[in-house]
């Protein structure tokens, strides 16, 4: 059973930082492109960022470019989302997901991702 587990969410003030982690259970993350998505209350889920299998390719939604950084650590079998200069509009449940079809690249198309974690809440508020 492929399982993804997010952690690192919490309450942070505007301008603050958080680092989210996505860990895998039962499989090696290196075989998948990994994406981060988020869903704010009353809104549809949206893409945030993705990273290719090797980590050489990354993509970001325009809303987070320059503030968020995605990375992966093969030794720890984990993917991270470093979030800086957080804004209230970043408040959402953040999900990581695995795409088994992307080989060299990664994409921000939600329907490409087959495996999802349960999400971690990020709240940006003063």
Specify the pairing of strand 120-124 against strand 10-12: parallel
What is the pLDDT, as a whole number, of residue 27?
87
**Where does residue 104 rank: exposed (0-12), middle (13-18), buried (19+ CB within 10 A)?**
exposed
Question: By percentage, how much of the chain surpasses pLDDT 90?
Answer: 94
Cα distance between residue 20 and residue 8, in whole Å: 5
The string of pLDDT tens digits covering residues 54-64 is 999 999 999 99
CA dist 123 to 29, 38, 41, 47, 81, Å? 27, 12, 11, 17, 15
pLDDT tens digits in sequence order for the chain, 126 residues long: 789 999 999 999 999 999 999 999 888 999 999 999 999 999 999 999 999 999 999 999 999 999 999 999 999 999 999 999 999 999 999 999 999 998 899 999 999 999 999 999 999 999
């Amino acid at each position: 059973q492929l399982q993804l587990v997010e952690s690192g969410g919490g309450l942070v003030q505007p301008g603050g930082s958080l680092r989210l982690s996505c860990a895998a259970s039962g499989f090696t993350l290196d075989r998948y492109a990994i994406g981060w998505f988020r869903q704010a209350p009353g809104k549809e889920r949206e893409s945030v960022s993705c990273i290719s299998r090797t980590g050489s390719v990354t993509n970001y939604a325009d809303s987070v470019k320059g503030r968020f950084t995605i990375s992966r650590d093969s030794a720890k079998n984990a993917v991270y989302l470093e979030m800086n200069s957080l804004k209230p509009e970043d408040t959402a449940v953040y999900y990581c997901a695995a795409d088994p079809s992307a080989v060299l690249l990664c994409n921000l198309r939600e329907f490409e991702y087959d495996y999802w974690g349960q999400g971690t809440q990020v709240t940006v508020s003063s």
